[in-house]
Amino acid sequence: MTGIRKVVAVVQEGVEAFGLGAICEVWGEPAHPEDRTPTFDFVVCTEVPGRVPGAHGYDLQVDHGLEELEDADLVCIVPKREFLEQSPAVVDAVRRAAERGAVVFAHCTGAFTLGEAGLLDGRRCTTHWRYATLLAHRYPEAVVDPDVLYVDDGNILTGAGSAAGLDAALHLMRREFGPRVAATTARRMVVPPQRAGGQAQFVRTVAPADEAETLGPLLGWVTEHLDQAHTVESLAKQATMSPRTFARRFRAETGTTPHVWVTRQRVMRAEELLETTDRSVEWIADAVGFGTAAMLRHHFTKARQVSPQQYRATFSCADDSLEAEQSA
């Protein structure tokens, strides 16, 4: 029998509406007899009960204080706008809840509260990709993985941004109550029942051509000629440098090797084509320079943790692109 009966969501000034809504949808729903899913003693609390300013032009009236965390089985940290400003009282209450064995869940910028409480020290964790570097810098003992949807580390669960909070919550529901309950909950919310935690956040990384001090024009040229073969020697010749000087300069300006950089650009271009065209995987592989569908699948799956076909099934907007072209 699971130990989760009382669920407490902690909100603070600047509370993000979607973050709170996602937690309410999973843990705060009333009984649905036809679903045969559990219900919880669900409480929303804040440091000083009363009016809590929201981040989207409306406020919340919250009647419960942090004492609700003292017997909570699950504590959910709701993301807030000014997440670098942490309340010592909230941090202490969350730390004490975790120390007595409560499950603590934070997604998006809520992870910064866990970091401030020392609950991420030595643990794998994640947050929204936009803030992953900042989280790692601010809490160097945390093992931040910016490329996953969520991380389950014992009684500490962290999720990435926005909808990944639902994925993480459904994972916890599955862990505690089994796949039937999780699938039924997901069906009620009209979302996929399971996206694996290791699945990539699908972050679009813009080619840093404008940021490269001297190689900017070359990087721009490469992105326009991804279908061609590129080696250190050929790129050095294009940049009128010796291969050794070019390799050193390339790493200094991009932080990586030419092979890794070009591969990333090819994967990104493949993403765009998978989203916006109905071209075959073989055609896309040739167009972006991977040559064969097998090579595209290898590099794409390694980078995104899903196959090109799975990515297209999730993100394709080819019909919209065709309609836009026809109406132009």
Which residues on neighbouring strands pair with residue 105, listed in sequence order?
A: 76, 157
Buried b / exposed e across 191-203, counting CB within 10 Å, b at 16+? bebebebebbbee
3-class state of residue 31 by DSSP: coil
Do 168 and 218 meet the contact criterion of CB atoms below 8 Å apart? no
Chosen CATH of 6-189 out of 2.60.20.30, 3.40.50.880, 3.40.30.10, 3.20.20.70: 3.40.50.880
Q: How far apart are CA 309 and CA 318, in angstroms?
A: 14
Q: How far apart are CA 278 and CA 325, in angstroms?
A: 14
Look-up: residue for tokens 């290791």?
A: 198
Query: Which pLDDT tens digits describe the chain residue by residue (328 residues)?
Result: 468 999 999 999 999 999 999 999 999 999 988 888 999 999 999 999 999 999 999 999 999 999 999 999 999 999 999 999 999 999 999 999 999 999 999 999 999 999 999 999 999 999 999 999 999 999 999 999 988 889 999 899 999 987 888 989 998 998 899 878 888 898 888 876 656 555 555 544 444 444 456 888 898 899 899 999 999 999 999 999 999 999 999 988 888 899 999 998 999 899 889 888 999 999 999 999 999 999 999 999 988 888 999 888 877 766 544 444 444 4
Query: 216-327 adopts what CATH topology?
Result: Arc Repressor Mutant, subunit A (1.10.10)
Q: What is the widest separation between alpha-carbon atoms in the chain?
A: 72
**What are the residues whose beta carbons fall under 8 Å from the beta carbon of 249, sequence distance 6 or more?**
214, 215, 241
Q: What tokens does 276 get? A: 């916006």
What Rg value do the Cα atoms of the chain yield, rounded? 23
Q: What tokens does 205 get? A: 């990384």
**Domain edges within the chain:** 6-189, 216-327
